[in-house]
Amino acid sequence: MLLVSVLVPACAGAVAVEVVAGALSREGAEPLRITYEVTGTAKDVTVTYPTWRDGSLSTARLTLRTLPWAGETRTRGFMSGGSFAVTLGATGGEVACAVTVDNGTVRTATASGAFATATCGGF
């Protein structure tokens, strides 16, 4: 009886791990397009966002002097939890950021004032 009480939960755990691994594998095989956008009145903005190349995650950083701006990256093996940050410079102004993922996930945020940051996260 003790053996059964140990084996049943162990088998159930193994099945759960297999199901999750299969779902992540399918998610990782699907190509996705991620679009980043910045609008507003600011004249000195730094954007930082994740990019994926050959399954490797890296971070891009750009300084913008004019808005609007849009960028796009395509990936396979996407893992949720990205963060797109838009930081205003000393001259302030207003910005809005947006991130759209193929599956319909949309994140938006706004910021205003010197050195303020709008963060579109969790996509």
Predicted structure pTM score: 0.72
Query: What is 57-77 written as a DSSP string?
Result: EEEEEEEESSS-EEEEEEESS
Strands laid side by side in the 106-112 sheet:
69-75, 32-40, 94-101, 106-112
Q: What would the pLDDT profile of 55-65 be if each residue is shown by its tens digit?
A: 678 899 999 99
- Report the alpha-carbon distance of residue 26 to residue 39 in Å, rounded: 34
Tens of pLDDT along 33-80? 999 999 999 999 999 998 877 767 889 999 999 999 999 988 876 667
The predicted pLDDT at position 5 comes to: 54
What is the distance of C-alpha 58 from the center of its chain? 12
Share of the chain above pLDDT 90, in %: 53
Give the Cα separation of 99 and 83 in Å (integer): 9
Cα distance between residue 52 and residue 67, in whole Å: 24
